[in-house]
Amino acid sequence: MSVLAIDNLSLALPKLADRAHAVQGLSLAIDAGETLCVVGESGSGKSMTAHAVIGLLPNAVKPAGGSIRLAGRELIGLTEGEMRKLRGRDVGMIFQEPMTSLNPVMRISDQILETFESHRMFDAQQRMRRTFELLEEVGLPDPKHIARAFPHELSGGQRQRVMIAVALALEPKLLIADEPTTALDVTTQAQILKLVDELRHKHGTAVLFITHDFGVVAEIADDVAVLQNGLCVESGRAQDVLENPTHDYTKRLLAAVPSLTPPPPKDLSGEPDALIVRNLHKTYGGRGFFSGNARKVIAAKDVEFTIKRGETLGLVGESGSGKSTVGRCIMRLTEPDDGFIKVGDTEFHGVPPRQLRPLRKRIQMVFQDPYASLNPRRTAGRIIAEGPEAQGVPRVDAEKRARELLELVGLGASSAERYPHEFSGGQRQRIGIARALALEPDVLVADEPVSALDVSVQAQILDLIQDLQKRLGLAILFVTHDLRVAAQVCDRIAVMQRGEIVELEPTARLFENPKHPYTRSLLAAVPGAHAKMAAA
């Protein structure tokens, strides 16, 4: 008998939603000790499915048919009191955001003890012992110390381990994991995935793993179900689906996953240097007269690189590596403590603000968040035209150029009159790119330009960027945390750790023969790096 058996499940959405059902006619089954990944993009209904199993659907969403059976017991129709007894004991759940998923005013040990107390299991002594065992089992160092700590004293990865301890405290039959690694660094992600895998083998737990990342599927899944707009379009053994997808959508999703094969090398021998950076330093901490000793953070130390015209250099690192800071310092959005920056043949560092403004058009930026990088009160055309206008171009010409650029990025000139909220995430990112190009820069700094987009849209934007580079001869500094994305578009990659560049090589060489230990661990951590997946 399967641990979890979902049969023809439908979840109804409230009237004003963009479709009638969050999930329709969904069927899947997980056996003990097996992992099933539910894959889909945002809005596919995968998260709703997870919440339905544990009975934590939002008030507005209700089951409208089908059945959910946990070890043979029907869950739909149970009272809240009955569901509560199941939660934590027969089914455990871990969530996406480790930073907000733990009660900030409760000690770690209390958070685990609470599970025992709520289900009246064990006596006080046994509970404490079990708590320490759990903390050790999830790989937390110094369990005695961590037990007394508060969540804010732990890192994201550590918090996620605590969450796993909490969820598995009573050894439930089923563990539901709702994108638990999406908010984590690549190396931490790898560790957590390994931990979940180990634990399920050890305890025979069935795992329902929600994700949008096919790499994760390749890494840990026994079975997979692909969701699109609430419908399951394909399911089966993971290996089969990954290597031989049958449905179009699955094929598209797999094709969009950036592989680790680098682009063909370009001939850049005759090209001039477009961006030169030397001795870049930036340290944060201890600002202002009246504040105390804030902790010092070295964001950039002795950073140095050169980008030629037509070349893309990737700046890859995890959070806290300083990669975004480097990008911002080069743009002089944040002032570096020290450094030499030259854009083309113009020195960029040290130029006082008033003279800096006209120089800014040589180097432009594409931002990460398509929802926050456009002023909601301006039309697309105005947003793009503002740049040239600020540089002295008359309004009429600027607006004409805006329309041309909108065509160039694939949006059509008529979208100039529309407001940002009328566009999708990918389309807004195109507007952001058009804005950057409006000033005809020589260098483009792209700060995680596709991180906030769905996989299928990512591929389109990356193609657009590469296409524009070929046409306009841009030099691009591509900042990202995702090695696979970097592999797709970058000619050379610089790996950053704690403010320093530890390795800078052409992409192919970096992947074949990584020299620095950090680079090696980074490459090893990429989920599904060694699996076979159907390519484009």
* Structure token digits, residue 149: 């700590």
Closest CA to 431 of 440, 422, 420, 421: 420
Q: Does 390 bind another protein (CB under 8 A)?
A: yes
Which 252-311 residues touch another protein, going by CB under 8 A? Answer: 287-292
Q: Does 391 bind another protein (CB under 8 A)?
A: yes
Helix (H, G, I), strand (E, B) or coil at 128: helix
How many residues touch another protein under the rule CB under 8 A: the total is: 61
Q: Does 357 bind another protein (CB under 8 A)?
A: yes
Cβ atoms 474, 466 nearer than 8 A: no
* Structure token digits, residue 3: 């641990």
Q: Does 333 bind another protein (CB under 8 A)?
A: yes
One-letter amino acid of 406: L
Nearer to another protein, 22 or 241 (CB): 22
- Give the list of residues 6+ apart from residue 281 with CB closer than 8 angstroms, or none: 300, 301, 302, 303, 336, 337, 338, 339
Q: How far is the CB of 387 from another protein (least distance, A)?
A: 4
Which one of residues 217, 300, 365, 504 is an interface residue with another protein (CB under 8 A)? 365
Nearer to another protein, 348 or 511 (CB): 348
Which one of residues 70, 86, 186, 220 is an interface residue with another protein (CB under 8 A)? 86
* Structure token digits, residue 265: 């090398």
Nearer to another protein, 375 or 414 (CB): 375
Cβ atoms 453, 482 nearer than 8 A: no
Q: Does 312 bind another protein (CB under 8 A)?
A: no
Nearer to another protein, 53 or 274 (CB): 53
Which 103-142 residues touch another protein, going by CB under 8 A? Answer: 103-106, 114-115, 118-119
Q: Does 152 bind another protein (CB under 8 A)?
A: yes
Pairing of β 346-347 and β 338-343: antiparallel
Which one of residues 102, 343, 479, 485 is an interface residue with another protein (CB under 8 A)? 102
* Contacts with another protein, 153-192, as mask; x by CB under 8 A: ----------x--xx-------------------------
Of the ranges 22-30, 202-210, 384-392, 528-536, which one interacts with another protein (CB under 8 A)? 384-392
Which one of residues 127, 323, 361, 401 is an interface residue with another protein (CB under 8 A)? 361
Q: Does 387 bind another protein (CB under 8 A)?
A: yes
Q: How far is the CB of 429 from another protein (least distance, A)?
A: 12
Q: Does 428 bind another protein (CB under 8 A)?
A: no
Task: Give the sign of the dihedral formed by CA 479, CA 484, CA 490, CA 492.
Answer: positive
Cβ atoms 117, 125 nearer than 8 A: no
The CA dihedral of 286, 288, 292, 297, to the nearest 10 degrees, is: -10
The Cα–Cα gap between 259 and 240 comes to 18
Of the ranges 63-71, 91-99, 125-133, 500-508, which one interacts with another protein (CB under 8 A)? 91-99
Q: How far is the CB of 289 from another protein (least distance, A)?
A: 6
Nearer to another protein, 364 or 497 (CB): 364
Q: How far is the CB of 374 from another protein (least distance, A)?
A: 6
Q: Does 228 bind another protein (CB under 8 A)?
A: no
Q: Does 100 bind another protein (CB under 8 A)?
A: yes
Q: Which residues pair with 11 in a beta bridge?
A: 23, 63
Three-state secondary structure of 208-271: EEEECCHHHHHHHCCEEEEEECCEEEEEEEHHHHHHCCCCHHHHHHHHHCCCCCCCCCCCCCCC
Q: How far is the CB of 464 from another protein (least distance, A)?
A: 18
Q: How far is the CB of 148 from another protein (least distance, A)?
A: 11
Closest CA to 314 of 372, 256, 258: 258
Q: How far is the CB of 54 from another protein (least distance, A)?
A: 6
Q: How far is the CB of 354 from another protein (least distance, A)?
A: 9
Of the ranges 135-143, 369-377, 397-405, 508-516, which one interacts with another protein (CB under 8 A)? 369-377
Which one of residues 122, 132, 150, 305 is an interface residue with another protein (CB under 8 A)? 150
The Cα–Cα gap between 380 and 416 comes to 5
Which one of residues 45, 63, 66, 88 is an interface residue with another protein (CB under 8 A)? 88
| DSSP summary character for residue 295 | P
Cβ atoms 339, 279 nearer than 8 A: yes
Q: How far is the CB of 178 from another protein (least distance, A)?
A: 10
Nearer to another protein, 130 or 492 (CB): 130
Cβ atoms 511, 173 nearer than 8 A: no
Provide, for the chain, the percentages of residues in helix, strand and coil under a 3-state DSSP scheme, each rounded to the nearest 5: 40, 25, 35
- Give the list of residues 6+ apart from residue 355 with CB closer than 8 angstroms, or none: none
Helix (H, G, I), strand (E, B) or coil at 384: helix
Nearer to another protein, 54 or 474 (CB): 54
Q: Does 17 bind another protein (CB under 8 A)?
A: no
Return the residue matching tokens 């560049």: 501
Q: Does 526 bind another protein (CB under 8 A)?
A: no
Which one of residues 144, 377, 421, 471 is an interface residue with another protein (CB under 8 A)? 377
Q: Does 440 bind another protein (CB under 8 A)?
A: no
Three-state secondary structure of 385-419: HHHHHHCCCCHHHHHHHHHHHHHHCCCCHHHHHCC
Cβ atoms 385, 402 nearer than 8 A: yes
Within 10 Å of residue 282's Cβ, how many Cβ atoms?
Answer: 22
Cβ atoms 382, 438 nearer than 8 A: no
Residues of this chain that bind another protein (CB under 8 A): 54, 56, 59, 84-89, 92-93, 95, 97, 100-106, 114-115, 118-119, 150, 152, 163, 166-167, 287-292, 331, 333, 353, 357-358, 360-361, 364-365, 367-369, 372-375, 377, 383, 386-387, 390-391, 432, 435, 438-439
